[in-house]
Amino acid sequence: MIDPHTYGPWAVIAGGSEGVGASFARLLAGAGINLVLVARKPGPLEETAAQVRAQGVLVRTVQKDLTEPDAAEAVAGAASDVDVGLLVFNAGANSYGHEFVTSDPDRVQGVLDLNIGCQLALVRHFGAAMKRRGHGGVLLVGSMAGFLGQAHMSVYSAAKAFGRVFAEGLWLELGEHDVDVLELVLGVTRTPAMERAGLRMDLPGLEVSEPDDVAREGLAHLADGPVHVVGGNAAAAEKRSGFPRAPLVAGAHESTKRLLGRG
């Protein structure tokens, strides 16, 4: 069970309405930690908020598209009068199915604004307060996509690679002040977002994780930063980090096509 004295009394979950974010919310509420839930879609957001309120904790909701320029300010404002001991950044716009040179520039910018810009702003705001208090945690949800470049999702993959390297540096900086930092690397996970993307989860040998298992594993390893790969994906992550790069990138491309139903 996660310690509310270390990671409470409040937690902020960006992307906290469904899938892994909702699982984090239920687990943290079970530990007695109050929540600020942030998400774009009002229906799932309020549904998850009602579920965790029924667990006996206080809940605030922020309905916000985190690609908007004032998003981080809105989230910070919603938690301005409480002590936030844990930031979970679970939001992540993707660019599945769009090659970079012919893509919509606004869509590309949205991927960067969410996965990099908003993440940095929220970590800076809440991380500074944790540093002053001398305890807390930052959990950034990453992706196996960030271990190598992939066609038709090159910007998303690059943004996730940024997140992992950022987490490693942040782990060094905040660890001196007893603030834990972890990038939790997800593989294929049975979430509404991945189902909407049309990913095939019935491929032979494919490692598919469930949201509750992912969230539970992430919280269990929060103090074991800077990076933890969930489920049975550690060997694949290690392989994707090797050399030479050309055969690794080409092989992953074929696997991704099958996952997307294109191969």
Stated as kind and residue range, the H or E segment containing 76 is helix 71-78
Range of the domain at 152: 4-259
- Give the separation between CA 166 and CA 145, rounded to whole angstroms: 16
Tell me the one-letter amino acid at 12. V
Q: Could you give the strand order of the β-sheet that contains 10-14, starting from the edge strand earlier in sequence? A: 59-63, 34-39, 10-14, 84-89, 136-143, 179-186, 227-229
**Residue with token string 């782990």:** 171
* CATH number for position 151: 3.40.50.720
pLDDT above 90 coverage of the chain, percent = 80
Q: Is 24 helix (H, G, I), strand (E, B) or coil?
A: helix
- Name the pLDDT band for 202 (thresholds 50, 70, 90): low
Question: Has this prediction a pTM greater than 0.75?
Answer: yes
DSSP 8-state symbol, 153: -
Question: Would you say 150 and 252 are in contact if contact means Cβ atoms under 8 Å apart?
Answer: yes
- Give the separation between CA 219 and CA 182, rounded to whole angstroms: 9
**Residue with token string 């190598």:** 148
Question: What are the pLDDT digits (tens) for 159-171?
Answer: 999 999 999 999 9
- Give the separation between CA 263 and CA 256, rounded to whole angstroms: 8
Backbone dihedral angles phi then psi of residue 152, each to the nearest 5 degrees:
65, 10
Question: What are the pLDDT digits (tens) for 237-248?
Answer: 999 999 999 999
Does pLDDT of 191 surpass 80? no
Please tell me the total count of domains within the chain: 1
Give the gyration radius of the chain's Cα atoms: 18
- Name the pLDDT band for 43 (thresholds 50, 70, 90): very high
Question: Would you say 11 and 35 are in contact if contact means Cβ atoms under 8 Å apart?
Answer: yes
Question: What are the pLDDT digits (tens) for 72-122?
Answer: 999 999 999 999 999 999 987 776 678 899 999 999 999 999 999 999 999
Q: What is the pLDDT at residue 258?
A: 72
Residues sharing a CB contact under 8 Å with residue 174, sequence separation 6 or more, in sequence order: 127, 130, 131, 138, 180, 181
Q: What is the pLDDT at residue 104?
A: 92
Peptide bond before residue 204 is cis, with ω within 30 degrees of 0: no
